[in-house]
Structure formats: C-alpha cells, structure tokens
Structure 1
Amino acid sequence: MSEPARELVIIGVDSAAFAPLLEILEERETIAAGQLRLLEIEDSEVEPQVFGNRNIPVRELEKFAFTPDQVVVVLKSGAAAEAAIGAAEAAGAWVLDAGGNTRGDETVTVVHPLLNSADIATAERRVLALPSAGAAMVAEALAPLAESLQAVEVQLNQPVSALGKAAIDSMAAQTARMFSGQDAEVDPAIGHRLAFNQLSASEALLASGHTMSELALVHDLRRLLGEGVAMDVCINTVSVFHGQLANLRVALNEDADLEKVRALLGNGARLQLAEQPSAEDAVGSDVTLIGRLRQSLLSRHQVNFCAVSDNLRKDLAMNCVQIVHLLLKNH
C-alpha cells in the first residue's frame, strides 16, 4: 500500500509573495492541487485561490491541525505566525519561515537553495529560515568571490513590495491621488509618502543608527557567507513596486583582477552579466543581473558592481519552492 501524498501548507494568502509563490509551484508542478492547504491568520472571509484548475479554499489558521507529513511555509510575521511555527514543529512537520519570525535564533538553519541546501540534513530543528530577499540576492552575487572576500559594503535599494502588501496598496492609492491632483495621505506606519519618493529609512532607527532590517540583512549574509567577512549595509526604499538593486563595494584580500572577477561572476549560478542592468530588466526573471563592474578609485583591492533581481519572484518565491521541493522529496 503506497504512502499518502505529503501536503504543502502555506500561511499568509494576503502576503505580497503569495501570488508568485503559487505561480512557480504550478509552473514547476511541485505539488498537485490536492496536496495544497492554504491558511490565513486573520479571521476574515478570503476567496478560494485557483491552483491547477481547482479552487483551493482558504482556511482559518486557528482551526487547522498540523501533521508530521506536512511542509509548512510561513509568509507572514507576528505573534500568530510564531505560534503556528511552534505548533507545526511540535506536530513533527517541517517548517520554512519566510517571514523573518525566527531571525536571530541560532538554532534555526538559514537555507539558500543554491548555496547551502546540504545543511538541511544536519539541521538542529525541523524549522528552517529563508534569507530575506536582499540577503538572498547579495549572497548569490558574492558567492563566486567567496574565497577572496575580505569586506563588503552593501547599499540596497529596495522596492515598496519589500515592506509588504499593505505598503504596495498604500503607494498605489497615493499615486492615484497625486495623478488626480489631490494630496497623498502619508502612510502612518512608515511616516513618509511612498509614491514618488526615496526613503533613507522606512522604519525606526536603532541606537547605532541602523535599522532592524539592516542588521537582519547583515545577520543573514553572515549565516550564508561566514563570519570572517566584514560588512556594513544600508537599505533605502525607492518608489517602485517590484525589483531590487544593490550597489556592492567589495574588498578582496589581493589586488583586484577585473577580468578574473568578471569571469567568476559570469560563471555564478543564476547570475547573468549585463552592462547597465535596471530593476525593470529583472522583474519577471529568474536570474540576478550583475553589472557596472569597475575598479574602485579608493583601493586596488576593491571592486564595485551592482546586482539586480526580482525580489518577490526570484529571491522569495523561487528560493522557497526549491527548498519545499527538497523537503517533500528527501526529508
């Protein structure tokens, strides 16, 4: 008698990453419609979601029972999401935290499918964490240079979708009002207008002058690249819906050979060289575009270049689907 098919449970239907996640799951035929369970945290009516030509109902998280044969993907953050992670782990399910709920917990393994998927086999717990979209892109871009990395400075220009679906809706409403000649209402959660603006920070500053998201980016990069690389980061928010761009200043432990660096980057997994990449070029793509490679004017050991990617489709949804595939097939 064959074993029952394992289930994929997704928590957070109203997350910005949900639509591209569902799209890639269907494109890759990772699971059948009958294996998919959709949950929402809020106690509200949510329309069924179409997957594999079937309507999949959205259930309330509070009434759902987890089982050992499930892989649970958590797209949202907050107390209810943290409680769900605990309940799913206690039931024996594998959990992939894509909402940052477990960031800072050293017992949780941070997994990038291209860089350290083998770490799943030795994970301390059945809870894994997906790196933030910014960290996933930057880590992929730096991976070909890992053996000679000394220090990295990251200037990440993140889109409004990095702040969540509510921020996307807020910027859309602000844009519509401004085009009709009305004053745009400032998002109270952010404190600044999102439409036609650039934010030096989209959240409160800590005593160090960094934001929590910036320290989280450092944390994820260190988990993926190792503690031996010195790094600092800055995250700005720009007035686009999707697509992220990072300017990287990379110090190597030897004089930089631009042709060698270019060759290494050109051979990187899911990396594609482009002369002047833009966020628009990357949206909808499954690769990270690398461009503007140049010798720094400050040091012979330093090279500068930029990385561009689709933050939702590639760095969240695609990475999530690849890890889910590994968990369903091998664990």
Structure 2
Amino acid sequence: MSHKLAIVGGTGAVGRVFIDYLNNHKLDLDEIKIVASKRSAGKIIKIENSEIKVEDIESFNFSSVDFAFFSAGSEVAKKYAPKAKKLGCTVIDNSSCFRRDDNVPLIIPEVNGEILDKLPLPEIISNPNCSVSQLLIALKPIHDLYKVKRVDVATYQSVSGTGQDAIEELKLQSKKFLEQKKVEKKVYKSQIAFNVLPGAVRPKLDNGYTEEEMKMTWEAQKILDDSIKISSSCARVPVFYGHSEAVHVETEKDVNIEEMISKMNSFSGLKVVESNDSFNPNPLDDAEGDDAVFVGSIREDLWQKNRVNFWVISDNLRKGAALNSMQILERLISKIK
C-alpha cells in the first residue's frame, strides 16, 4: 500500500534535511508534495529523480495526502495541523505548538515509540525539542537500569536550532567581525559570532527560567517519567550544527559504570565514545551529519555512588528533528501495511 506525503516547510533548515533523508531512504511513498509560504511557492525541489514544485500552504488541500511533516513553526502548525487532521491527514509536527497538549502524543521512537502502535489515525503527533531528544536517548538506558531521580543539564545549542536565518547570520557576522567591519544583528538581539548567549535567547518566565529551559523539564517528564526532577541552563553558542549537553544524573540505585556503559552501547541510536581524548565527542568532528546521539566523558560522581556525569552531543537537525520525524513516519507506515 503506497502513501502520499506533504512536507510543510520543505525549504527551511529542517525541511531540507528531511528531503535529504527521502533522497537516501526508500519509503513506501507514492507521491511527495512540498508545501511552504507564498514567498517560496513555485520553487523547484529535487527529490530522487523528480522535480517537485513548491505549493502555497494557503491553497493546499491536505485531503490529497495521508501524512504531513510540519516544520514551519508554531503559528503555521496551530493554523493548519488541526485542519489537516480533519481532512484525514496524520501530522508529524516539529514545532512546540502541541507538545504540552495532553491529547497529542510526544514521541521519541526509541523511548516511547510503542504509543504509535496503538494510536488511531489520523492524528497529530509532536516531535520533542531537539535538546530533549538527545538527552532522553542517553537517559533511557540509565533509567531502565537504576531509575533516574534527578537531572541537572547545561545545554550549548547551535544556531541551526533557531533556523536558516540564524545560520546565515552567524556566517555573515563571523565574516564581518574578522574583517573588522560593523556586525549587524537581526535574528538575535546580541551578536552571536564569537559569543555565548545565555537562556538560548528565549524570554524569561515568572520563575526566572526561560521557556527553552522549561521545555527540557516539561517534555522530558511527559516522555520518560513525570516523577523525574529536571533543571536546565541553556545557552546559544556560535556553532552551526550540533547541540552539546553537560549532564549530571542522580539515580535511586547505585550506578555501576561498566554495566551502564554496556547498556548504553546496546541502545538503539546511541554511540558511546570511550576515549582518553578530552576533545571527543564534539559537534564538528562527530555529530554534524550523523544520525546518532554521542555520549562521552562518562564519569562516576566524586562523592556519591548514585550519581554520574557525562557529555551528550547530536546533530539537532537530524535526530533532534528530521530523523525523529522519519522514524515516526516509518513506524506508522509499517503498522498500516
């Protein structure tokens, strides 16, 4: 049985990676449509051996497709995803729009993918925040062994998490700065080139944390275990692709490092880097362009046996967005064959 897919936001940073997956993975798809704003309508996108004209979302008929991958922001998702569902189209949304909605499943296939097997279609399915995805891929095997009680995490997030405009801004600012010319700021209020922006450039909430930091708590609890206490400090850094996280975990049971590493090594999508090189893993050498989540610098806590520290990196446009959506789509297609 063949299926039809629409990619909403196919001209953006995540949409381009999703299209790259389609060019390299054989899915049971009869037709693929690219949908974007009126500004991008009419452009030609190549997928495999086909040239596809971008369609305007305002006039697009979602009843013509079975699935739609949304990566066009929360406003677009809020306006069009419910309409698509009513027309019989299952939506996989990459924005934050529906993540806290109790009626919308928030899915990382390796962590809670079994939810998809029982899910009636059509439905809206939400992708988690990219930083949450890589964190939970690393935490799940630890949670299965020792039950995670508390997590403290500091994130170092690349500009591609903001979007294509932020990528271009970092390129231009870096060039201007090195040429000793005036640096223009459009995407971020402060210069991102050669700088670190705390809070991942999100507004602060009443509790003093930014929305980006609270997403780490809300989404991780919804997906993995709502009893886990999670606190985050997030920053935007001048890196193009790949998020990094320094993670401190406290568990109910004492941790056996060798047992934990063995469990991590056997966990789908996770690569443990056991190296004496303190520079590995890192976004540029390891994560960029790779589908895996990398874990390294695994250390027992100096003071308590039920605590462990490690470093997690991942290409945020891949496992943090496009790959996760692709895995959801593959699982949905396989269950309705």
Q: What TM-score do you get using the length of structure 2 for normalisation?
A: 0.91
Do residues 6 (structure 1) and 10 (structure 2) align? no
**In 1, distance between residues paired with 2:246 and 2:61?**
44
Report the count of equivalent residues. Answer: 326
Do residues 230 (structure 1) and 229 (structure 2) align? yes
Displacement of 1:269 after TM fit?
A: 1.4
Root mean square deviation of aligned Cα: 1.8
**In 2, distance between residues paired with 1:273 and 1:136?**
16
**In 2, distance between residues paired with 1:21 and 1:220?**
23
Corresponding position of 2:282: 278
Displacement of 1:43 after TM fit?
A: 4.0
Residue type matched to 2:21 in 1? I
Displacement of 1:81 after TM fit?
A: 2.7
Other structure's SS at 2:43 match: coil
Displacement of 1:68 after TM fit?
A: 7.1
Describe the superposition over 1:14-52 as per-residue Cα deviations: whole angstroms up to 9, x where unpaired: 3211111111112111255x5101100344445210011
Corresponding position of 1:57: 53
**In 2, distance between residues paired with 1:321 and 1:73?**
9
Q: What TM-score do you get using the length of structure 1 for normalisation?
A: 0.93
Residue identity over aligned pairs, in percent, reads: 23
**Structure 1: 5+ residue runs without aligned partners?**
none
Q: Is the 8 A contact 1:186 1:193 kept in 2?
A: yes
Q: 2:85 aligns with which of 83, 89, 104?
A: 89
Displacement of 1:314 after TM fit?
A: 2.7
Residue type matched to 1:67 in 2? S
Do residues 137 (structure 1) and 120 (structure 2) align? no
Q: 1:18 aligns with which of 15, 18, 42?
A: 15
Other structure's SS at 1:102 match: coil
Displacement of 1:137 after TM fit?
A: 0.6
Q: 1:194 aligns with which of 189, 192, 195?
A: 192
Alignment of 1:189-268 (within 5 A): 189-201=187-199, 202-268=201-267
**In 2, distance between residues paired with 1:15 and 1:111?**
22
Corresponding position of 1:309: 314
**In 1, distance between residues paired with 2:11 and 2:64?**
25
**In 2, distance between residues paired with 1:254 and 1:6?**
46
Structure 1 pair 200/46, CA: closer, same or farther in 2 (3 Å)?
Answer: farther
Displacement of 1:111 after TM fit?
A: 1.1
**In 2, distance between residues paired with 1:323 and 1:163?**
23
Q: 2:101 aligns with which of 89, 96, 105?
A: 105
Q: Which moved more, 1:283-292 or 1:124-133?
A: 124-133
Other structure's SS at 2:322 match: helix
Other structure's SS at 1:114 match: helix
Displacement of 1:120 after TM fit?
A: 1.7
**In 2, distance between residues paired with 1:69 and 1:285?**
29
Other structure's SS at 2:110 match: coil
